[in-house]
Amino acid sequence: MSEDKVEQAAVADEPSPARLIGTLAIAGLVSGVIIIAIYLATFETIKENKARELREAVFRVLPNVSKMQKLLLKEGKLEVSYKEEKGEEPIYAGYDDNNTFMGYAIPSDGPGFADTISVLYGYRPSDRKVIGMWILASRETPGLGDKIYKDAAFVANFDDLAIEPPIVATKRGKSKPNEIDAITGATISSVAVARIINKGNDYWVSRLPEPGAEPAYVEVETPPEAEDAQAQ
């Protein structure tokens, strides 16, 4: 057999390019349908999970709060918002059972020891104090840096904390109203939390309305989705 013939025989065994492309196309199509189906099937639940997680965090950093609403800064004014907006930077207002304003829950983030730490903290404008802190996301070292949310004593530092002058983490035992006790072995993480809250205060405190002029709680009669549909 000459070399030419061997090559021809080999080519005859090869599937045509159309068959190769067809196989991949069918695999891709079936895969796409399955992925979209599972995405749609779980979408609502995942959204609810995220909303519940946020609500729980807000209730944790604002004591005695039973209702919350999202606020967005629009042209220098805080407005109640229900919609998801791209690139939004919301804060949350908490109210008690009688719809009395109790404080703001402010998200802020910044670099920690391992990765970005996302913090949510409660701020009461009437006496300019931080009244609670919760870590939304962090990748700090297990057993050391993760004490910023696992160590109840450290979290309690933020239950009644003055914000002026800026919060300071100290290793010598706190003695001033703006000081917190840093965790032994996790000084960088502790200082980072203080810095992240200071950063949030720097931005937000001057932009918040005068105490007493906070947006009132709006009872939602029609669900926001229905409102959207009407607007269109």
Contact segment (CB under 8 A) with another protein among 33-41, 95-103, 116-124, 205-213 equals: 33-41
Nearest CB to another protein, comparing residues 45 and 230? 45
Contact between residue 124 and residue 160 where contact means Cβ atoms under 8 Å apart: no
Residues of this chain, 141-180, that bind another protein according to CB under 8 A: 141-144
Exactly one of 2, 4, 5, 15 binds another protein (CB under 8 A); which one?
15
How distant, in Å, are the alpha carbons of 54, 81, 107, 110, 176 from that of 89? 14, 11, 8, 15, 32
Interaction between residue 42 and another protein (CB under 8 A): yes
HSE at residue 218, side-chain half, CA atoms within 13 A, is 14
Candidate list 7, 28, 79, 213; residue touching another protein; CB under 8 A: 28
- Residue 51 interacts with another protein (CB under 8 A)? no
Check residue 31 for interaction with another protein (CB under 8 A): yes
The residue assigned the tokens 């109210």 is 95
Binding span for another protein by CB under 8 A among 19-27, 103-111, 159-167, 171-179: 19-27
The yes or no reply on residue 115 touching another protein (CB under 8 A) is: no
Strand bridging mode 77-81 / 116-124: unpaired
Side chain identity, residue 155: V
Q: What angle do CA 189, 107, 150 make, to 5 degrees?
A: 40
β-partners of residue 103 are 94
Residues near another protein, by CB under 8 A = 14-15, 19-20, 23-24, 27-28, 30-31, 34-35, 38-39, 41-42, 45-46, 49-50, 53, 141-144
